[in-house]
C-alpha cells in the first residue's frame, strides 16, 4: 500500500479494479479473446545489472523472432523494488511446447537470467478488451499502478456488475487509461489491473471514483463488494522502455 492517507483515497479504485472472468469471456465464441503471459520476477540485488543486460538481449531476440510486443516494468519506490513485471502476448498455448532443438543463444541468455532470479511466478491472463481503456497507439506509460484482486468464487458477476455500472464510467470521464486481465493459470484465480499514470503526482489526486462521488458515495459503492473481494494488493511500477518493444511502432518508424 502507499501509506494510510494515500491508500484511503485510492482504496475504492484498488477494490474495484475488476476484469471479466474467463468464464464470461468464453461465451463470446465468435470473438476469441487472446491471452497474455505475466511474470512477477524477484532479482538478487547484487545481480540487477546482469539481469537487465540479459533481458535487453532477450528482448532483441524476441523482437527479431516476431513477438508482437513486450512490456517490462520495475517496482518504483514502494514495495519490493527488486521485483519486475514482464508481460508478453500469448496467442496460443502451443507455443510453450519446447522445440526439439532450442536456440543455443536463447538458452544461454535464459541461463544467465536464471542465475540472477530469486523468485518467479508466472500467470496466464485472459485479456478484457471490452472493458479496457488502453493508451493511444504509440504511447507508453511512465508509471503504472498495478493491482491484483482476488474474488470469492461464485461472486464474479457481482464484481463485474459493480465495476461496469458504478466504477469504470468515472475512470473514463477522468480520462484515466487502463488495461486488465483475468488471472486464469498460475495461482489463485482473480484479476490484475494496470492503471496508467503520467507521474507520481497523479496519486495525489486520488481515485477518480472518489473524486466524482465524494468519500461517502465511494464508500457506498465499496460496501456493495462486502463478501465479494477476498484480497487486494497494489504497487507502482516504472516502465522500462529499453527492455520493452512494440512491433507496430518499429514498422511505422521504417516507413
Per-residue HEC secondary structure of the chain comes to: CCCHHHHHHHHHHHHCCCCCCHHHHHCCCCCCCCEEEEEEEEECHHHHHHHHHHHHHHHHHHHHCCCCEEEEEEECCCCCCCEEEEEEEECCHHHHCCCCCCCHHHHHHHHHHHHHEEEEEEEEEEECCCCCECCCCCCCCCEEEEEEEEECCCCHHHHHHHHHHHCHHHHHHCCCCEEEEEEEECCCCEEEEEEEECCCHHHHCCCHHHHHHHHHHHHHHHHCCCCCEEEEEEEEEEECHHHCEEHHHHHHHHC
User: Tens-digit pLDDT profile for the chain (255 aa)?
Assistant: 233 323 334 443 444 433 333 333 333 434 445 999 999 999 999 999 999 999 999 999 999 999 999 999 999 999 999 999 999 999 889 888 876 778 899 999 999 999 999 999 999 999 988 888 899 887 888 999 999 988 888 887 787 788 778 887 888 889 899 888 888 999 887 889 899 999 999 999 988 999 999 999 999 999 998 898 899 899 999 999 999 999 865 444 444
Q: What pTM value is reported for the model?
A: 0.82
Going from N- to C-terminal start, the domains of the chain cover 4-92+102-248
Q: CATH for 4-92+102-248? A: 3.30.70.100
Amino acid at each position: 500500500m502507499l501509506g494510510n492517507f494515500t491508500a484511503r483515497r485510492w482504496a475504492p479504485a484498488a477494490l474495484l479494479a475488476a476484469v471479466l472472468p474467463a468464464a464470461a469471456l468464453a461465451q463470446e465464441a465468435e470473438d476469441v479473446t487472446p491471452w497474455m503471459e505475466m511474470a512477477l520476477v524477484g532479482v538478487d540485488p547484487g545481480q540487477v545489472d546482469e539481469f537487465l543486460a540479459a533481458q535487453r538481449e532477450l528482448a532483441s531476440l524476441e523482437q527479431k523472432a516476431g513477438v508482437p510486443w513486450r512490456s517490462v516494468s520495475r517496482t518504483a519506490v514502494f514495495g519490493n523494488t527488486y521485483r519486475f513485471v514482464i508481460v508478453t502476448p500469448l496467442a496460443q498455448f502451443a507455443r510453450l511446447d519446447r522445440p526439439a532443438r532450442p536456440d543455443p543463444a536463447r538458452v544461454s541468455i535464459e541461463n544467465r537470467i536464471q542465475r540472477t532470479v530469486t523468485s518467479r511466478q508466472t500467470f496466464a491472463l485472459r485479456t478484457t478488451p471490452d472493458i479496457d481503456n488502453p493508451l493511444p497507439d504509440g504511447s507508453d506509460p511512465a508509471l503504472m499502478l498495478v493491482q491484483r484482486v482476488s474474488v470469492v468464487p461464485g461472486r464474479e458477476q457481482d464484481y463485474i456488475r459493480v465495476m461496469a455500472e458504478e466504477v469504470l464510467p468515472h475512470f473514463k470521464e477522468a480520462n484515466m487509461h487502463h488495461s486488465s486481465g483475468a488471472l486464469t493459470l498460475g495461482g489463485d484465480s482473480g484479476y490484475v489491473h494496470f492503471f496508467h499514470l503520467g507521474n507520481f503526482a497523479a496519486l495525489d489526486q486520488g481515485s477518480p471514483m472518489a473524486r466524482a462521488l465524494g468519500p461517502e458515495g465511494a464508500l457506498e459503492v465499496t460496501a456493495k463488494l462486502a463478501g465479494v473481494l477476498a484480497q487486494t494488493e497494489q504497487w507502482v511500477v516504472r516502465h522500462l522502455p529499453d527492455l520493452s518493444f512494440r512491433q507496430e511502432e518499429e514498422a511505422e518508424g521504417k516507413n
